[in-house]
Amino acid sequence: MSPKVSEEHRESKRREILDAAVRVFIRQGFPATTMTDVVEESGLSRGGVYLYFSGTEEMFLAIVEEVELANERQAEELMAQYPTVWGAVAALFIHLQEELVRVREGLIPVMIEAFVMGWRKEVYTDLLERRYEQGTSRIERMLQVGVDNGEFRPRLPIGTIARMFSSINDGIMVDTMQFGAEDARTQEQIGGFLLSLRYLLGACEEEERP
């Protein structure tokens, strides 16, 4: 009778494999990464890796899911940390700016690469649609809190502003990945968008609130 494997052990091994996959994806790119690469990087047996994942695509989807959960936690933490919604929203772009300084060392290029190459596949279409809805809904919920507490008097529907937020965020990421932060003027783009966003939201100063 084979020994019973605890859930904690399973999660530890799964985490080990995903961490190895992330390192290889970043180093080689998603399309060029094979299961053999991940097996070698992880130091585990081939059978041990296949016990958890059937291929690199399944690993990638699991990693994207983790990124989305992390984004959700980040939004919640910022909303709790800052006294105003505007402070939390601005902090999201500060974090983006910090991440983009080393954009080619992280997962952003891997995700863009995978989505661009696989967008015709149903699994990626569904994933992209789900990520878009989750991302825009997350921003919309944050902005709505500002509307409800009198901090914002939006000049456009909140849902439209949330989608602009997502589009510009993604555009800045692509520009920075392709051209570098200096040539893309990433910091200036982020600062300019924050000025525009503040105007679109009709952000009120503390003393102006009802």
pLDDT string in tens for the chain (210-residue length): 455 567 888 899 999 999 999 999 999 998 899 999 999 999 999 999 999 999 999 999 999 999 999 999 999 999 999 999 999 999 998 888 888 888 878 888 888 888 877 777 777 788 888 888 999 999 999 999 999 999 999 999 999 999 999 999 889 988 998 898 899 999 999 999 999 999 999 997 543 444
pTM of the model: 0.83
Q: Which residues of 174-202 are buried (b: 16+ CB within 10 A; e: fewer)?
A: ebbbeeebeebebeebbeebeeebeebbe
**Residues making up the chain, counted from first to last:** 210
Let me know the angle formed at the C-alpha of 174 by 108 and 181, rounded to the nearest 5 degrees. Answer: 90
For residue 167, give both structure tokens: 């589009």
Q: Does domain 1-54 have CATH number 1.10.10.60?
A: yes
**Ramachandran angles phi, psi of 139, nearest 5°:** -65, -40
* All CATH 1.10.10.60 domain ranges in the chain, comma separated: 1-54
CATH no. of 61-208: 1.10.357.10
Interatomic CA distance for residues 18 and 84, integer angstroms = 36
* All CATH 1.10.357.10 domain ranges in the chain, comma separated: 61-208
